[in-house]
C-alpha cells in the first residue's frame, strides 16, 4: 500500500526516489518528462474508458508529485506529513522573537529601498535572503537525514516560507520598477 499525503500518493514513491529532502531536481525533472510522455492522453486515445481514466489519474498524480518535489516548502511539508508530523499554522510553533525582529527589520529595509528606488540595497537584501534560504534548506536536509525528533525542525519550515515569500516580494518590486 502506498503512503498517502492529503489523499495523494507519496511523491517520492511516484518518482522512485528515496524519501530525502535533498532530492536531485534534474533527475526529478527527467523522470517527470518521461512519465508525462508515457501517460499522455494521446497514447491512450484508442484504449478503453477505464484505461484512459487510469492514465489520466496517474498523470494527475505524477504532476502533483512533481509540484511537491520541486518546491522546497511543499517537499518539507510532505516529509513532515509522511513522518506523522502535522504541519500548518495551527500545528507549528510560533517563530522566535529574534526571527520576528529579523523579519520586521527586513521588511522595513525593503520598504525603504522600494520608496527610494535603491537597487543596490534591494540586490543586497535579495542576495542575503537567498543565502539564508539556502542555509535553512541545508539545515532541513541535514535534520531530515539525521531523523530523530523531526518536530524540532518545524521552526525551519516557517523560516523557509518567510525567505521564499520575501524573494517573491523582491522580484515583484523589481518587476514593478521595470514596468515603470
Residue 89, in any domain of the structure: no
Residues 101 and 175 in one domain: yes
Give a yes or no: residue 51 inside a domain: yes
Percent of the chain with pLDDT over 90: 73
Residues 102 and 63 reside in one and the same domain: no
In this structure, are 51 and 114 located in the same domain? no
- Which of 133-142's residues contact partners 24+ apart within 8 Å by CB, and which partners? 133/72, 133/160, 133/163, 133/164, 133/167, 136/160, 136/163, 137/21, 137/72, 140/21, 140/72, 140/76, 141/20, 141/21, 141/22
- This model's pTM is above 0.85: yes
Strand partners, 4: 9
Q: Band of the pLDDT at 164, cuts 50, 70, 90?
A: very high
Q: If DSSP codes are grouped into helix, strand and coil, which group holds residue 129?
A: helix
Each residue's pLDDT tens digit, 116-129:
999 999 999 999 99
CATH number at 30 reads: 1.10.287.110
pLDDT at 140 over 90: yes
Q: What is the pLDDT of residues 12-60, one digit of tens each?
A: 999 999 999 999 999 999 999 999 988 887 778 787 888 888 888 888 9
CA 113 to CA 119: how far, in whole Å? 7
End-to-end CA separation in angstroms for the chain: 55
Indicate whether 106 and 170 sit together in one domain: yes
- Tens-digit pLDDT profile for residues 57-98: 888 999 999 999 999 999 999 999 999 999 987 888 999 999
Domain containing 62: what range?
4-70
CA 136 to CA 156: how far, in whole Å? Answer: 6
| Element containing residue 8 per DSSP (H, E) | strand 8-9
Q: How many domains does the chain have?
A: 2
Query: Which pLDDT band, with edges at 50, 70 and 90, does 3 fall under?
Result: very low
Say which CATH number the domain at 116 has. Answer: 1.20.1280.20
Q: Judge whether 168 lies within some domain.
A: yes
CA nearest 82: which of 95, 69, 93? 69
What per-residue confidence (pLDDT) applies to 5?
A: 52
Amino acid at each position: 500500500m502506498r503512503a498517502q499525503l492529503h489523499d495523494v500518493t507519496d511523491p517520492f514513491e511516484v518518482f522512485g526516489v528515496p524519501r530525502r529532502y535533498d532530492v536531485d531536481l534534474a533527475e526529478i525533472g527527467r523522470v517527470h518528462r518521461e512519465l508525462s510522455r508515457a501517460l499522455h492522453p494521446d497514447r491512450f486515445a484508442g484504449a478503453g474508458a477505464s484505461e484512459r481514466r487510469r492514465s489520466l489519474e496517474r498523470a494527475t498524480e505524477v504532476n502533483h508529485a512533481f509540484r511537491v518535489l520541486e518546491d522546497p516548502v511543499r517537499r518539507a511539508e510532505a516529509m513532515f506529513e509522511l513522518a506523522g508530523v502535522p504541519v500548518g499554522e495551527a500545528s507549528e510553533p510560533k517563530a522566535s522573537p529574534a526571527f520576528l525582529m529579523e523579519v520586521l527589520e527586513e521588511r522595513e529595509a525593503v520598504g525603504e529601498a522600494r520608496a527610494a528606488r535603491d537597487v543596490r540595497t534591494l540586490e543586497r537584501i535579495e542576495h542575503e535572503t537567498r543565502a539564508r534560504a539556502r542555509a535553512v534548506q541545508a539545515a532541513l536536509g541535514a535534520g531530515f537525514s539525521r531523523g530523530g525528533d523531526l518536530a524540532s525542525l518545524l521552526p525551519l519550515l516557517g523560516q523557509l516560507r518567510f525567505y521564499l515569500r520575501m524573494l517573491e516580494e523582491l522580484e515583484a518590486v523589481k518587476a514593478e520598477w521595470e514596468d515603470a
